Amino acid sequence: MNAAWHQRHVMPKSATAAERVAWHREHQQACACRPVPASLRAAVAGSGGDTDDPRMGAVAAALAGEPGVSTGGRGFGATALKVGGKIFAMRSSKGAFVVKLPRARVDELVAAGRGARFDPGKGTLMKEWFVPEGGRTSALTALAREALAYVGGPGRTKPVRARG
């Protein structure tokens, strides 16, 4: 254990999620005398640009203790927040924070000027994916909680598309 480092770097009382992530990142480099808590591992790891954004890390840390929430994996969605294996919040390849919400809710948010529908880069706007404009971490966390409830809510199933 690096006692000198620990004396100079005391975790603040009531630390925010972003402060906890930052502390554990420094700790891993300077000391690493104990493992990173499971609820913060994905945010601390910062694999790629997605979780390097402190707001995404803070949102991930705030929701990490929720039942069924996970991060990680391979390929698309590797740094996204998931519930039951389904993505409900992510950082796009262009750096935008994106959440999955009911179409009516996305329509409402867009009409209120709070953001835009998500365009994955192919010119097709996604009806259930919303990109908030700016926003504090608390506002993004609230949207992510709403998305978690929508995607992982009890009895949530995909709508059946009519064929023909």
Tens of pLDDT along 85-139? 899 998 887 778 899 999 999 999 999 999 999 988 888 899 999 999 877 888 8
**H helices then E strands: how many in the chain?**
6, 6
Domain boundaries defined on the chain = 16-152
Task: State the sign of the Cα–Cα–Cα–Cα dihedral 97, 100, 102, 107.
Answer: positive
What contacts 113, CB < 8 A, 6 or more positions away?
A: 133
Tell if the pTM clears 0.75, that is, is over it.
no
Phi and psi at residue 72, to the nearest 5°: 95, -175
pLDDT for position 103:
96
Do the Cβ atoms of 135 and 58 come closer than 8 Å? Answer: no
User: What is the pLDDT confidence band of residue 51, given thresholds at 50, 70 and 90?
Assistant: very low
Residue with tokens 């059946």: 160
pLDDT range class, residue 46, cuts 50, 70, 90: low
Share above pLDDT 90 across residues of the chain, in percent, rounded to a whole number: 26
Return d(Cα 120, Cα 8) in angstroms, integer.
Answer: 44
